[in-house]
Amino acid sequence: MSICTLTEAAAQQVSKICFENRSYGIRLDVKGGGCAGFEYDWNIVTHADDLQKNDEVIATLNGHFVVGYHSRLILMGTQVDYKESIMGSSFEVTNPNAKSSCGCGVSFDVEPLLNVSF
Protein backbone atom coordinates (compact mmCIF):
# COMPACT_ATOMS: atom_id res chain seq x y z
CA MET A 1 0.00 0.00 0.00
CA SER A 2 1.31 3.44 -0.92
CA ILE A 3 1.67 6.24 1.60
CA CYS A 4 0.02 8.66 -0.88
CA THR A 5 -2.24 8.23 -3.85
CA LEU A 6 -2.18 10.36 -6.97
CA THR A 7 -5.23 11.21 -9.02
CA GLU A 8 -4.91 10.76 -12.77
CA ALA A 9 -4.55 14.53 -13.16
CA ALA A 10 -1.71 14.64 -10.59
CA ALA A 11 0.09 11.67 -12.17
CA GLN A 12 -0.13 13.32 -15.60
CA GLN A 13 1.25 16.59 -14.23
CA VAL A 14 4.13 14.82 -12.46
CA SER A 15 4.94 13.08 -15.75
CA LYS A 16 4.76 16.36 -17.65
CA ILE A 17 7.04 18.21 -15.20
CA CYS A 18 9.57 15.37 -15.16
CA PHE A 19 9.60 15.11 -18.95
CA GLU A 20 9.93 18.86 -19.49
CA ASN A 21 12.68 19.21 -16.87
CA ARG A 22 14.45 15.95 -17.73
CA SER A 23 14.23 15.03 -14.07
CA TYR A 24 13.63 11.82 -12.16
CA GLY A 25 10.68 13.01 -10.10
CA ILE A 26 8.77 15.40 -7.89
CA ARG A 27 9.40 15.16 -4.14
CA LEU A 28 6.88 15.94 -1.40
CA ASP A 29 8.13 16.41 2.15
CA VAL A 30 6.75 17.99 5.29
CA LYS A 31 8.79 20.52 7.18
CA GLY A 32 8.22 22.48 10.36
CA GLY A 33 7.06 26.03 9.76
CA GLY A 34 4.20 28.37 9.06
CA CYS A 35 1.71 29.66 11.56
CA ALA A 36 0.03 26.25 12.03
CA GLY A 37 3.20 24.17 12.54
CA PHE A 38 3.92 22.25 9.31
CA GLU A 39 4.25 23.06 5.62
CA TYR A 40 4.44 20.98 2.46
CA ASP A 41 7.85 21.17 0.81
CA TRP A 42 7.95 20.46 -2.94
CA ASN A 43 11.19 19.82 -4.84
CA ILE A 44 12.46 18.37 -8.10
CA VAL A 45 14.49 15.16 -7.85
CA THR A 46 17.03 15.45 -10.64
CA HIS A 47 18.42 11.88 -10.59
CA ALA A 48 17.52 8.57 -8.94
CA ASP A 49 20.83 8.87 -7.06
CA ASP A 50 19.29 11.83 -5.19
CA LEU A 51 16.79 9.57 -3.43
CA GLN A 52 17.21 9.01 0.29
CA LYS A 53 17.08 5.61 1.91
CA ASN A 54 13.47 4.46 2.49
CA ASP A 55 11.83 7.21 0.41
CA GLU A 56 8.58 6.03 -1.13
CA VAL A 57 8.56 6.19 -4.93
CA ILE A 58 5.40 6.07 -7.04
CA ALA A 59 6.05 5.62 -10.76
CA THR A 60 4.12 7.67 -13.32
CA LEU A 61 4.32 7.45 -17.11
CA ASN A 62 7.37 9.72 -17.52
CA GLY A 63 8.51 10.29 -13.95
CA HIS A 64 8.18 9.54 -10.28
CA PHE A 65 6.40 10.98 -7.27
CA VAL A 66 8.62 10.72 -4.19
CA VAL A 67 7.46 10.91 -0.57
CA GLY A 68 10.32 11.69 1.79
CA TYR A 69 11.04 9.02 4.38
CA HIS A 70 10.75 11.36 7.37
CA SER A 71 7.38 12.67 6.14
CA ARG A 72 5.68 9.32 5.65
CA LEU A 73 3.86 9.23 9.01
CA ILE A 74 2.31 12.67 8.53
CA LEU A 75 1.42 11.96 4.87
CA MET A 76 -0.09 8.48 5.44
CA GLY A 77 -3.37 8.25 3.51
CA THR A 78 -2.88 11.54 1.65
CA GLN A 79 -4.32 12.10 -1.81
CA VAL A 80 -2.59 14.45 -4.24
CA ASP A 81 -4.61 16.00 -7.06
CA TYR A 82 -3.81 18.62 -9.68
CA LYS A 83 -6.28 21.46 -10.24
CA GLU A 84 -6.42 24.06 -12.98
CA SER A 85 -8.59 27.17 -12.85
CA ILE A 86 -8.65 30.71 -14.16
CA MET A 87 -6.75 31.71 -11.00
CA GLY A 88 -3.88 29.33 -11.74
CA SER A 89 -2.95 25.72 -11.27
CA SER A 90 -1.44 23.73 -8.43
CA PHE A 91 -1.15 20.39 -6.72
CA GLU A 92 -3.85 20.00 -4.09
CA VAL A 93 -3.02 17.89 -1.03
CA THR A 94 -5.85 16.23 0.92
CA ASN A 95 -4.23 14.99 4.11
CA PRO A 96 -6.48 13.09 6.55
CA ASN A 97 -3.91 13.70 9.31
CA ALA A 98 -4.18 17.49 9.08
CA LYS A 99 -6.18 18.62 12.10
CA SER A 100 -6.34 22.28 11.14
CA SER A 101 -4.76 24.78 8.78
CA CYS A 102 -3.87 28.44 8.91
CA GLY A 103 -6.08 31.11 7.39
CA CYS A 104 -4.04 31.34 4.20
CA GLY A 105 -4.07 27.56 3.77
CA VAL A 106 -0.29 27.20 3.45
CA SER A 107 0.49 25.49 6.76
CA PHE A 108 -1.30 22.86 8.83
CA ASP A 109 -1.27 21.09 12.18
CA VAL A 110 -1.57 17.37 12.92
CA GLU A 111 -3.11 15.39 15.75
CA PRO A 112 -0.93 15.57 18.88
CA LEU A 113 -0.81 11.78 19.21
CA LEU A 114 1.64 11.69 16.30
CA ASN A 115 4.11 13.61 18.46
CA VAL A 116 6.36 14.38 15.51
CA SER A 117 9.03 17.06 15.54
CA PHE A 118 11.56 18.22 12.99
Burial of residue 50 (number of CB atoms within 10 Å: 0-12, 13-18, 19+)? middle
Q: Quote the Cα angle for 70-25-18, to 5°.
A: 160
CB atoms within 10 A of CB 61: 11
d(C-alpha 34, C-alpha 88), whole Å: 22
> Averaged in consecutive runs of 10 residues, what is the pLDDT profile of the chain (118 residues)?
91 97 96 78 95 94 95 92 92 86 68 54
Q: What pTM did the predictor assign?
A: 0.85
CB atoms within 10 A of CB 10: 23
Residue 65: beta bridge partners? 26, 58
